[in-house]
Amino acid sequence: MVDINTVGRTFNIQRYSIADGPGIRTTIFVKGCPLSCKWCSNPESQSKERQIAYRNTQCKACGKCVAACPKQCMTLDEDGIHIDRTVCDVCGTCVKKCLPGALSFSGKDMTAQEAFKVVMRDKDYYEKDGGCTCSGGEILMQPDFVAAIFAQCRENGIHTNADTCGCGSEEAMRKILEYSDMVFFDLKHMDSAEHKRMTGVGNEQILKNLDICMHSDAQVVIRVPLIKGFNDTDENITAMCETLKKIGGQTPIISVLPYHNYGENKYRMIDEVYELTDMEPPSQETKDHVKELIESLGFECRVE
């Protein structure tokens, strides 16, 4: 049983999305992730705690936020606003004072019913092949919330897609799968030590949850973030395909997502450091080769 009054924490709800599953979709991004991928394009999604985000390109340097801060944890200089996050209690006073919108909350609490009401606003656009996607962060950190949203979607004939890195309990995976029509399952590296080096966590639990998904009724799409010098080798790609064959259950489509640095500026917004400043996206030659290799191993492959 699910409870539509279950409270979850989101950091964004994106309507009219065309990148998070088939058709036009509403994507609910939940906050909190056990991984800390060095290429993460949504660093604000990693912590489950609410945060204040600062966009210096919108700042007018008026200083009203600094004057209003009850903790006196904000300063202003030629580089813009600086927040002492060891003192800040995320009360939101500065956000209310910031008329240009340079300061904003990352993290909103809402019930599954409230989130579903947002999904329902665009129900007419889902009629052909669209629907609702829950993404993150990591949805396995908030399984009751996600399952309650998906259960309401099911009752109303709305397609559901669970976008997961697979790092969470098997109980959480099964709870969400019960109401999932599709799963976007990320596979980052097949060697656990390498996986831990770049994401902070090994892949043992991820592979257990992959097995569960592959033997479920949900359509599985494997998504591979292609990172130069990390997981773009023939050895890793072949190991991934052989693992999928060994697990069995279904033959998934493999979707390759070439690295990009579009989220780099977000790190400055929450005073975090982006470590891959010198990383280059994979060449067209590399993308073509990876696609050909995957297809030669018996899988349909798409390069997004």
- Helix pair 234-247, 204-214: axis angle to 10 deg: 50
* pLDDT score of 127: 81
The percent of residues in the chain predicted with pLDDT above 90, rounded, is 97
* pLDDT score of 2: 95
* pLDDT score of 128: 80
Render pLDDT for 271-293 as a digit per residue (tens, 0 to 9): 999 999 999 999 999 999 999 99
Q: Hey, which residues does 77 pair with through a beta bridge? A: 80
Q: At the fourth CATH level, which superfamily is domain 7-47+108-303?
A: Aldolase class I (3.20.20.70)
SS3 47: coil
DSSP-derived letter for residue 281 is: P
Amino acid type, 36: S
Contact (Cβ atoms closer than 8 angstroms) between residue 160 and residue 132:
yes
Chain centroid, CA 101 distance in Å: 24
- Helix pair 284-296, 234-247: axis angle to 10 deg: 30
Residues of the chain with pLDDT under 70: none
User: How far is Cα 45 from Cα 217, in angstroms, rounded to an integer?
Assistant: 29
SS3 275: coil
Q: Is 51-106 a domain of CATH 3.40.50.1220?
A: no
Q: Domain boundaries in the chain?
A: 7-47+108-303, 51-106
